[in-house]
Amino acid sequence: MKNNFEIKKTDEKARLGEYTTAHGSFQTPNFMPVGTKASVKGIDTDSLEELGSQIMLVNTYHLWLRPGHKTISSLGGIHKFADWKGPILSDSGGFQVFSLKQIRELSEEGVKFKSHLDGTNKFLTPELAVEIQETLGVDIAMVLDECPPGDCSHDYAEKSLGLTYRWAKRCIEAKTRQNMSLFGITQGGIFPDLRKRAAAEIGELDFEGVAIGGLSVGEPKEQMYEVLSYHPQQLPNKKIRYLMGVGTPEDLVEAIRNGVDLFDCVMPTRSGRFGRAYISGQKPYINIKNAEHALSDLPLDEDCSCKACRKYSRAYINHMFKAREMLGPILMSIHNLHFYMNLMKAVREAIRLGKFEEFYKKEKVRWE
Amino acid sequence: MKNNFEIKKTDEKARLGEYTTAHGSFQTPNFMPVGTKASVKGIDTDSLEELGSQIMLVNTYHLWLRPGHKTISSLGGIHKFADWKGPILSDSGGFQVFSLKQIRELSEEGVKFKSHLDGTNKFLTPELAVEIQETLGVDIAMVLDECPPGDCSHDYAEKSLGLTYRWAKRCIEAKTRQNMSLFGITQGGIFPDLRKRAAAEIGELDFEGVAIGGLSVGEPKEQMYEVLSYHPQQLPNKKIRYLMGVGTPEDLVEAIRNGVDLFDCVMPTRSGRFGRAYISGQKPYINIKNAEHALSDLPLDEDCSCKACRKYSRAYINHMFKAREMLGPILMSIHNLHFYMNLMKAVREAIRLGKFEEFYKKEKVRWE
């Protein structure tokens, strides 16, 4: 196993680091914008770069079904296809498949399901998940895991953990590309004994990074924070730690304080499209669709230097939403991604200065 | 009347000119992207500037109903609201009102209709149309006119012409802002005698420009071209001539050859959102949604330097449309606007060189 991850400084449990891939490196802590179907909704990659994104995530499930990993490969691979020159991480497709509750059938071998696009039968195995990601040409691939729901029983979670472990080993066996990292995933729901076991089992395998799966999947926030209070520390110290699919700015600083390095979430773009703008100051966010903004000549955030805030007023963006103009969701997505990128930059600076705890407390107060 | 329009060169009937407003000047022939509700759909004004747009159009009807001309005025006016520093022209709202066939009532005084947003009764008069546009703060306002359908009778068109003339005079009376131009509009459908009368009547009034209305409103293309063959020449030679709501690249060069200077149309953005990309070469356009593009690593147009063509393949944009990703319509709108802007640039260069007829013939061949 190559050591692509370098920890440059720690501040209590928070870590400042850098991860290197075949398409360049990214600093940690960091946040990956989600390009589900090979585009971050409404935002071209020039804008993504301007926003300071250092790594982008794509969804294996969606690209496998359409346009197909082989099509993308024949067009020169995912970097050329999506015109993103930096690092790309793909999920394994597992999370999406296990969200299709009605139409899947799980076995030791893999998971059978019907495509949400045309109803055709599909069969995803750990080996195929790795093959698809290798064919896409991503820099970091994820193992196929089972993602149990947030309210599942200890019994179910325990059985599931065994399967996820056996699948993880099969993924390592299946991997052929040397210039692609493979990350393992820990499950175990909200159960301390299972999280401990998952950390030990996945941590010992030959992965270049370890992801925490199965959080923010329906469990109460307090339970997620409880797991975050001990689980990241159970993971190998030298490997990058990636918390999948989380979350709000508050969740991110909470996880970083517990030693997490990397995140992805649709939150900034999706909630932006629905009208939520994350802001600095006393309140953590506003809803731009609210009538109170209809006459406001303030920018979304007075302390923000993003394109939306430099150019347009709250009243204008409020009008864009009322008039159902595409520019509304676009400007909100740009603003929120800028907010997340700036948050990560500020976090890294705080760790560098040994002042993360101070930063953390300031952020937490805004969410009370 | 100020003379804001300077003709710098003519090439047969085609004219090269420059029109000056309080927010800068634009060269002619030129094309105005349509920012119906104060945004060109999916495109921010930084991008619009990059595309080479020199003037933008907004719709009085839409902005009057929402967010309201007074709201926009209280927010600093339309330039600040939409963040467009260059010239802005607004239509009068007439075209939209007369498209609401079922719910309008026409009288000498004005036109009564129900708002498409909330069904409330509205009454638009020539005086109010001017007041709204003055309040918005546009650089060029249009008179309120009646727009009869493309298949109306000579009788109807003749009566309508009288009303449009009387309304035109009332608009001039109503105008108070010195730093705003007011353009008249000729109607008369496809009837040579009425077009001649409209040109004489409107041409004599104290307008800074004259627009040709009532074309591309349902009449056959041949009839529109017939009117274009004589009507622009009936308009005052020294005033800018604006053909409203037209059209395809072919229509534009046809009109320019007959002495038209200015255009607006939703065609590049709307048809782009529906998958049509205008291209150079033998064929005038492609439909990016067609299966033949799904595996193509060509750009939309090999001779194009727009962002969509520099960054993405036809296969990628085809995928964006299939996957219903916003980026598809956005990239297509950018490409088509770039195509229109470049067409106007090339037209101006051809006139400058005295080679417009050659340019015209090359363009026409592509549409046969």
Dump pLDDT digits (tens) for B244-297.
Answer: 999 999 999 999 999 999 999 999 999 999 999 999 999 999 999 999 999 999
- Using an 8 Å Cβ cutoff, are A258 and A195 in contact? no
What 3-state class would DSSP assign to B255? helix
CA–CA gap between residue A59 and residue A56 (Å, rounded)? 10
Tell me whether residues A319 and B37 touch, CB distance under 8 A.
Answer: yes
Q: Tokens standing for A55? A: 């790594």
CB atoms within 10 A of CB B238: 10
**What is the sign of the dihedral through the CA atoms of B307, B309, B311 and B315?**
positive
When pLDDT is averaged across residues B213-237 and rounded to a whole number, the result is: 96
Q: pLDDT tens, B80-121?
A: 999 999 999 999 998 988 888 766 899 999 999 999 999 999
Report the percentage of chain B scoring pLDDT > 70: 99
Strands B121-124 and B262-264: unpaired
If asked whether residues A169 and A270 sit together in one domain, one would say no
Mutation target for A interface from B62, B69, B320, B325: give the one with most A CBs within 10 A: B325
Report the percentage of chain A scoring pLDDT > 70: 99
Radius of gyration of chain A (CA): 20
* Residue A296: closest C-alpha in chain B: B75
Planar angle of CA A238, A240, A245, nearest 5 degrees: 150
The amino acid sitting at B170 is: R
Around B342, how many Cα atoms within 13 Å sit in the side-chain half-sphere?
A: 17
What 3-state class would DSSP assign to A60? helix
DSSP string of A236-299, one letter each residue: -TTSEEEETTB--HHHHHHHHHTT--EEE-SHHHHHHHTTEEE-SSSSSEEETTSGGGTT--S-
CA–CA gap between residue B210 and residue A76 (Å, rounded)? 53
Query: Rounded to 5 degrees, what are φ and ψ at B121?
Result: -75, 135
Tell whether A77 is covered by a domain: yes
If asked whether residues B259 and B270 sit together in one domain, one would say no
CA–CA gap between residue A32 and residue B250 (Å, rounded)? 45
Q: Which of A11, A91, A145, A251 is catalytic?
A: A91
When pLDDT is averaged across residues A95-106 and rounded to a whole number, the result is: 82
Last residue of a domain, one of B265, B286, B320: B265
Q: pLDDT tens, A78-89?
A: 999 999 999 999
**Mean pLDDT score of chain A, rounded to an integer?**
96
Residue B100: the pLDDT is 81
What 3-state class would DSSP assign to A116? coil
CA–CA gap between residue B88 and residue B81 (Å, rounded)? 12
- Using an 8 Å Cβ cutoff, are B308 and B335 in contact? yes
When pLDDT is averaged across residues A321-350 and rounded to a whole number, the result is: 98
Greatest alpha-carbon pair distance for chain B in Å reads 60
- Looking at the structure of chain A, the number of domains it has is 2
Residues listed for chain A = 368
- Using an 8 Å Cβ cutoff, are A72 and A51 in contact? no
Tell whether A105 is covered by a domain: no
If asked whether residues A252 and A270 sit together in one domain, one would say no
If asked whether residues A292 and A361 sit together in one domain, one would say yes
- Using an 8 Å Cβ cutoff, are B215 and B226 in contact? no
* Residue B65: closest C-alpha in chain A: A323
Report the percentage of chain A scoring pLDDT > 90: 93
When pLDDT is averaged across residues B306-315 and rounded to a whole number, the result is: 98
Residue B43: the pLDDT is 98
Beta strand extents in B172-308 (DSSP E only): 181-186, 209-212, 240-243, 262-264, 276-278, 285-287
Q: Which residues contact B83 (CB under 8 A, 6 or more apart)?
A: A311, A312, A316, B44, B45
Residue the block writes with tokens 């030959």: A206
Residue B2: the pLDDT is 64
The amino acid sitting at A365 is: V
Question: Helix, strand, coil % (nearest 5) of chain B?
Answer: 45, 20, 35
* Cβ–Cβ contact A104 with B under 8 A: no
Residue A2: the pLDDT is 64
If asked whether residues B20 and B118 sit together in one domain, one would say yes
In chain B, what residues touch A67 (CB-CB under 8 Å)?
294, 315, 319, 322
Residue the block writes with tokens 């409880």: A226
Residue A102 per-residue DSSP state: G
Tell whether B124 is covered by a domain: yes
ipTM: 0.97
pLDDT tier at A99, thresholds 50, 70, 90: confident
Query: Does A104 score more than 90 pLDDT?
Result: no
Residue the block writes with tokens 């200015």: B262
Query: Does A245 score more than 90 pLDDT?
Result: yes
If asked whether residues A260 and A283 sit together in one domain, one would say no
Residue B189: the pLDDT is 94
Taking each helix axis from N to C end, the angle separating A249-257 and A327-352, rounded to the nearest 10 degrees, works out to: 20
pLDDT tier at A185, thresholds 50, 70, 90: very high
Tell me whether residues B294 and A71 touch, CB distance under 8 A.
Answer: yes
Q: Which residues contact A198 (CB under 8 A, 6 or more apart)?
A: A161, A164, A165, A186, A187, A188
CB atoms within 10 A of CB A78: 24
Q: pLDDT tens, B151-194?
A: 899 999 999 999 999 999 999 999 999 999 999 999 999 999 99
The amino acid sitting at B13 is: K
Tell whether B247 is covered by a domain: yes
B264 is catalytic: yes
**Mean pLDDT score of chain B, rounded to an integer?**
96
The beta-carbon neighbor of B307 closest among A43, A46, A312 is: A46
If asked whether residues B176 and B286 sit together in one domain, one would say no
Last residue of a domain, one of B249, B265, B281: B265
Beta bridge partners of B277: B286
When pLDDT is averaged across residues A238-262 and rounded to a whole number, the result is: 98
- Find the CATH number of the domain harbouring B182: 3.20.20.105
Looking at per-residue confidence, does B360 or A103 come out higher? B360
Taking each helix axis from N to C end, the angle separating A221-234 and A249-257, rounded to the nearest 10 degrees, works out to: 30
Q: pLDDT tens, A314-334?
A: 999 999 999 999 999 999 999
Omega before residue A284 within 30° of 0, cis:
no
If asked whether residues A69 and A156 sit together in one domain, one would say yes
If asked whether residues A224 and A339 sit together in one domain, one would say no
If asked whether residues A30 and A175 sit together in one domain, one would say yes
Residue B42: the pLDDT is 97
Segments forming the whole domain that contains residue A206 = 21-94+126-265
Last residue of a domain, one of A210, A234, A265: A265
Residue A149: the pLDDT is 85
Residue B230: the pLDDT is 98
If asked whether residues B147 and B295 sit together in one domain, one would say no
Residue B184: the pLDDT is 98
Radius of gyration of chain B (CA): 20
If asked whether residues A188 and A292 sit together in one domain, one would say no
In chain B, what residues touch A44 (CB-CB under 8 Å)?
307, 311, 327, 330-331
Query: Does A1 score more than 60 pLDDT?
Result: no
* Cβ–Cβ contact B41 with A under 8 A: yes
Residue A103: the pLDDT is 66
